[in-house]
């Protein structure tokens, strides 16, 4: 992946000129939005003064200008959000991805399929609803990796998981199923443990730090240790520290699946901040974090051939 220095050069030579019209549009709409909000606030003061008269019809009429300006503010905000989101996701982000990655696919309004989530066994077999966006797929060296933002409900009310879900081809052949679950008592991790505990054996590995951070279950003790070598355990710990999230991982059918809980809506335009290099970096950083899993976990090292 390109370095920050290369990205800055690309920003100066390419992206900046494409972002300038968006920045001008954003500034104009923000000023208009402020104008409507200030006027609505001024109207609210007038309403308070009119209310002292205790004349019902005057009080009722005095509300009209405030609602008018609030309605105009709402429409302006929606216009700004819709236009900037469309331009960013259709033009700017694809341009950034083309610069950073040779082999990639990006579908803004797509998400990882429900069947992939079920196959990972990190979710219940029945999922009521999956919402998501920003599906991205890459080939980095010999490793295929894909991720998207998802919001998973196992019934129509309770959110089971919200964040990034990632899937990558693994560099070892195995037939067992192994789960590396966060020890932190999050709602999702506790539910996953309950789903899996009766069907898989708890594995205590030789790395004490790893055992404190993760709860490991597997269908095969020997193969779990074949997958979770001391080196890989340390790499998983390092990756967890790097992304600062309580990740959970499964190894199923020669693939690695990873849940990264997050409440941040990634890859969105900045409505109240400038479209500058700092904005580009806010989109570059998560791309680097999630694709770095290939190098951080050494997934391109194909020492063990798949049968």
Does residue 161 share a domain with residue 59? no
Find the domain containing 56 and state its range: 4-100
pLDDT at 48: 84
Q: Is the dihedral of CA 95, 96, 100, 105 positive or negative?
A: negative
Facing residues of 164 across strands?
149, 260
Sequence-distant (6+) residues with CB within 8 A of 300 are 140, 141, 142, 143, 171, 294
* Measured distance CA(267)–CA(97) in Å, rounded: 12
C-alpha to C-alpha distance for 144 and 138, rounded to whole angstroms: 6
Asked whether residue 2 carries a pLDDT value surpassing 90, the answer given is no
Ramachandran category for residue 10: left, alpha or beta (phi over 0 → left; psi -120 to 50 → alpha): alpha
Q: What is the pLDDT of residues 33-84, one digit of tens each?
A: 999 999 999 998 988 888 777 777 877 888 889 999 999 999 999 999 999 9
pLDDT at 199: 83
* pLDDT score at 56: 79
Q: Are 83 and 198 in a shared domain?
A: no
143 and 276 in a single domain? The answer is yes
The candidate with the shortest Cα–Cα distance to 176, out of 154, 157, 199, is 199
Within 10 A of 12 (CB to CB), how many other CB atoms are there? 11
How confident is the prediction for the chain on average, in pLDDT? 91
- The two tokens of residue 281 are 């970096």
Q: Are residues 85 and 229 in the same domain?
A: no
- Does 231 share its domain with 271? yes
Instruction: Give φ, ψ of 60 to 5 degrees.
Output: -65, -45
pLDDT mean over 92-121: 95
Last-in-domain residue among 100, 120, 138: 100
Task: Answer yes or no: do 243 and 216 share one domain.
Answer: yes
Of 34, 66, 100, the last residue of a domain is 100
Residue 304 inside a domain? The answer is: no
Distance in angstroms (rounded) separating the CA atoms of residues 92 and 8 = 15
> How far, CA to CA in Å, does 3 sit from each of 6, 266, 278, 284, 298?
5, 20, 15, 10, 19
The answer to the question of residue 305 being in a domain is: no
Higher pLDDT, 225 or 307: 225
- Predicted model pTM: 0.88
User: Could you tell me the two tokens for 207?
Assistant: 């790395």
Is the residue at 110 inside a domain? yes
Residue 62 in domain: yes
Do 164 and 77 share a domain, yes or no?
A: no
Of the two residues 200 and 196, the one the predictor is more confident about is 200
Which H or E element spans position 43?
helix 16-51
Question: What SS3 state is found at 263?
Answer: coil
Query: Which residue pairs from 135-139 have beta carbons closer than 8 angstroms and sit at least 24 positions apart in sequence?
Result: 135/105, 135/106, 135/107, 135/108, 135/110, 135/111, 136/97, 136/104, 136/105, 136/106, 136/287, 137/104, 137/105, 137/106, 138/101, 138/103, 138/104, 138/105, 138/291, 139/103, 139/104
Pair 90, 139 in one domain: no
**163 and 292, same domain (yes or no):** yes
Q: Which residues of 115-129 are buried (b: 16+ CB within 10 A; e: fewer)?
A: ebbebbbbbbeebee
Q: Do 49 and 108 have their domain in common?
A: no
Question: Each residue of 109-152: pLDDT tens digit?
Answer: 999 999 999 999 998 888 889 999 999 999 999 999 999 999 99
The count of structural domains within the chain is: 2
Look at residues 41, 70, 100 and tell me which one is the last residue of a structural domain.
100
CA distances from 48 to 38, 51, 64, 169 (A): 16, 5, 13, 64
In a domain, 227, yes or no: yes
- Stretch 269-282: mean pLDDT: 94
Same domain (yes/no): 172, 72? no
Tokens 């019809």 belong to residue: 57
Structure tokens at 284: 């570059």
Residue 158 lies in a domain: yes
Q: Are strands 248-252 and 214-218 parallel, antiparallel or unpaired?
A: unpaired
Same domain, 38 and 90: yes
Coil/strand/helix, residue 163: strand
pLDDT at 307: 46
Residue 303 is assigned to a structural domain of this protein: no
Domain membership flag for residue 306 = no
């Amino acid at each position: 992946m390109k370095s920050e220095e290369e990205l800055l050069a690309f920003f100066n030579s390419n992206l900046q000129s494409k972002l300038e019209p968006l920045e001008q549009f954003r500034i104009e709409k923000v000023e208009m939005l402020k104008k409507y909000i200030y006027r609505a606030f001024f109207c609210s003061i007038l309403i308070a003064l009119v209310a002292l008269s205790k004349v019902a019809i005057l009080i009722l009429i005095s509300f009209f200008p405030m609602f008018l300006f609030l309605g105009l503010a709402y429409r302006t905000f929606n216009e700004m959000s819709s236009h900037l989101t469309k331009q960013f996701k259709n033009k700017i982000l694809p341009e950034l991805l083309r610069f950073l990655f040779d082999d990639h696919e990006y579908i803004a309004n797509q998400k990882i399929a429900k069947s992939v989530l079920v196959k990972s066994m990190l979710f219940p077999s029945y999922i009521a609803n999956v919402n998501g966006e920003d599906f991205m797929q890459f080939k980095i060296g010999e490793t295929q990796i894909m991720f998207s933002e998802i919001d998973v409900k196992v019934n129509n009310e309770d959110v089971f998981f919200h964040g990034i879900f990632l899937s990558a081809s693994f560099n070892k052949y195995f037939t067992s199923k192994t789960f590396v679950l966060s020890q932190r008592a999050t709602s999702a991790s506790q539910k996953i443990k309950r789903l899996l505990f009766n069907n898989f054996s708890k594995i205590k590995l030789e790395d004490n730090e790893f055992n404190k951070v993760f709860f490991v279950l597997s269908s095969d003790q020997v193969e779990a240790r074949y997958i979770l070598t001391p080196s890989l355990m340390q790499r998983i710990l390092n990756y967890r520290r790097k992304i600062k999230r309580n990740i959970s991982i499964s190894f199923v059918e020669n693939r690695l699946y990873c849940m990264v809980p997050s409440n941040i809506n990634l890859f969105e335009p900045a409505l109240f901040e400038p479209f500058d290099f700092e904005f580009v970096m806010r989109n570059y950083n998560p791309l680097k974090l999630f694709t770095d899993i290939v190098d951080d976990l050494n997934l391109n090292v194909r020492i063990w051939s798949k049968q």
